[in-house]
Structures are given as C-alpha cells and as structure tokens.
Amino acid sequence: MAIRKFKPVTPGTRFKAISTFEEITKTSPEKSLIVPLKSTGGRNNQGKMTMRYRGGGHKRFYRIIDFKRDKDDIPAIVKSIEYDPNRSARIALLAYKDGEKRYIIAPDGLKVGQQVMSGKNAPIEIGNALYLSDIPLGSVIHNVELSPGRGGKIARSAGCSVTLLTKEGKYAIIKMPSGETRKVLLTCKATIGSVSNPDHILETSGKAGRSRWLGRRPRTRGVAMNPVDHPMGGGEGKASGGHPRSRKGLYAKGKKTRKKKNPTSKFIIERRPANKNKSK
C-alpha cells in the first residue's frame, strides 16, 4: 500500500494524494453479500432536513461484513481483497470449507490464498479471530468486541489497532488507539493484526468535487452567518465569533461531552491524554 501524488497540471491535482490501490485484487463485489444503500440527503421520514450539508454523492451498495466471526473451527481461504466505499479499510472475501462466503475487515498483510480461522483452536496468525483469553499478552489486535457475541466495535477503521496489555481475573486490559486503557471481558473476541490501508491518513482529496462525490455539501462557517442564524455570527467585518460553539450554543473545541454517570466508566482505567502528541 502506498500513496500516489500527482503533478500539478490542474488545480485539482496540485495537492491530490490518493491510494495506489495496489492491494485490490477484485473490482466487482460478491453479489450475494451486497444490499442497496439508500441515500437520505439528511432528511427524515417526514422529508424534513435533520442534518445539514448532506446530499448528492455516488450511489453505493452496502457490503455485509462479518464482525462477529462466529463460524468457529471451520477454515476459510481468502479469495480476494476488495475496496469498500462505506469504510476506510479494505475488506477480504472469505470462502469457507462448507461453501459459505463472508466479508471481513482485511488486516494489514493478509494475502489472497491465505487460510484464516476463528475459535479457540485457531493459531495466532494474522486474520484469525480468537477469544481474548487465548491471545498472548502484547499482541496487536483489531475488531475487538465490547460484549461477547455482539460483534467487533473497537479498532475497525484503516490502520487502527489495539494492544493487549494484561489479564486480571475475568477481564483483559487493552490500550485503545486513542491512548485510553480499559477493561474488556476475556470472553470477547478479537482479530489478530492491525487494520489494512494504514496510509489512509496521508490521503488528500485535492478538490471540493471529491467531497461532493462522497455526499458532502459545502459547509457555511458560523462566523459568516447573521446573529439570528448562529451564536458566532454578526459583527463588523471580520471582528466576530467569540468562543467557538455550535449552532445551538453548546461550547465546542474542548468541552467534555461524556456523561459523568456513564455506566461504562468503571471499565476505563486511564483516560486518553488531552493532547495525543504529549503521549508520543
């Protein structure tokens, strides 16, 4: 996986940097594993706009991803590595020995023809899904469950991974991509390795049109509005703004939004650092 930079022959290619897609081995999805994805344009069932700056974009099919990896002790062969327009990571098509096909999030380094498996008897290899109780300490994992059998919720986007630090009683202690340390039940499953497409963070769209292809419309800044439309609007010239806040007046840029009595706070051992650069 690498990033392709363009010569500045047009304004749109001057800063454009996209993936080379060299790891993609198949361009058309598996028909049995796709469903239509309806675009809402930010409207609800009454046709009223509930989310601004959305609309347009290319039509997509949703790829049904197996986040649970509950097909235990049945080996599968990786048939292809594919592009998924609904997520930043690549996906892998698995063909199980009993004939069933499933999509999974492709780990970094997974190759076509490789065998993967899930369950207690699976070896510690990239792409295999095991219970946290069976994974060695210090392992790099992704697609980690928060509740047993509910499917992976943590570390699913491009380049993400979680580190298994220790095991205490019925809990495993993991270090999240944000730097947070928390407890997860040992009966939860996780997949070995980090998520594919780690260079996604280096991509640059290069032009506004690429945002329109993704269904994102131009966003009006609050300071460019009138006072009746936004708390940060109004003022003479550019002398406006004040403390950054949302259109409804809620403070932005650093205000903590987590509930003080959140029931999952007891599983968090150490919160993420205020500045991620300080932890490096």
Q: Which residue, 191, 193, 172, is CA-closest to 122?
A: 191
Quick check: 280 pLDDT over 80? no
Band (pLDDT 50/70/90 cuts) for residue 1 is low
Band (pLDDT 50/70/90 cuts) for residue 240 is confident
Task: Kindly report each contact of residues 244-247 with a partner whose C-beta sits within 8 Å and lies 24 or more positions away, as own/partner.
Answer: 247/222
Band (pLDDT 50/70/90 cuts) for residue 274 is confident
Model pLDDT, residue 276: 57
Model pLDDT, residue 96: 96
How far apart CA 152 and CA 195 sit, in angstroms, is: 13
Instruction: Give the other-Cβ count within 10 Å of 104's Cβ.
Output: 23
Task: For residue 125, list its beta bridge partners.
Answer: none
Which tens digits make up the pLDDT trace of 136-170?
999 999 999 999 999 999 999 999 999 999 999 99
How far apart CA 57 and CA 11 sit, in angstroms, is: 21
Percent of the chain whose pLDDT exceeds 70: 98
Quick check: 186 pLDDT over 90? yes
- Average pLDDT of span 218-234: 93
Judge whether 149 and 175 are in contact, CB under 8 Å. no
Judge whether 97 and 203 are in contact, CB under 8 Å. no
Helix or strand run (H / E) with residue 115: strand 115-116
First to last CA, the chain: 25
Model pLDDT, residue 131: 97
How far apart CA 92 and CA 77 sit, in angstroms, is: 10
Quick check: 115 pLDDT over 60? yes
Band (pLDDT 50/70/90 cuts) for residue 277 is low
- Average pLDDT of span 250-257: 86
Which tens digits make up the pLDDT trace of 24-77?
999 999 999 999 999 999 999 999 999 999 999 999 999 999 999 999 999 999
- Average pLDDT of span 242-266: 90
Model pLDDT, residue 208: 95
- Average pLDDT of span 227-246: 88
How far apart CA 156 and CA 144 sit, in angstroms, is: 8
Band (pLDDT 50/70/90 cuts) for residue 198 is very high
Q: Which residue, 243, 199, 219, is CA-closest to 53?
A: 219
- The rounded mean pLDDT for the chain is 94
Quick check: 278 pLDDT over 70? no
How far apart CA 237 and CA 255 sit, in angstroms, is: 28
Compute and round to an integer the Cα radius of gyration of the chain.
22
- Average pLDDT of span 225-242: 88
User: Per CATH, which fold does 3-41+59-200+259-279 belong to?
Assistant: OB fold (Dihydrolipoamide Acetyltransferase, E2P) (2.40.50)
- Average pLDDT of span 240-245: 87
Helix or strand run (H / E) with residue 94: strand 91-96
Model pLDDT, residue 165: 97
Model pLDDT, residue 97: 94
HSE toward the beta carbon, residue 181, CA cutoff 13 A: 9
Quick check: 205 pLDDT over 60? yes
Q: Residue written as tokens 């009223």?
A: 48
Counted residue by residue, the chain has a size of 280
Q: How do the residues of the chain divide into helix, strand and coil, expressed in percent and rounded to 5?
A: 10, 30, 60
Model pLDDT, residue 233: 92
How far apart CA 268 and CA 146 sit, in angstroms, is: 12
How far apart CA 247 and CA 230 sit, in angstroms, is: 5
- Average pLDDT of span 72-85: 97
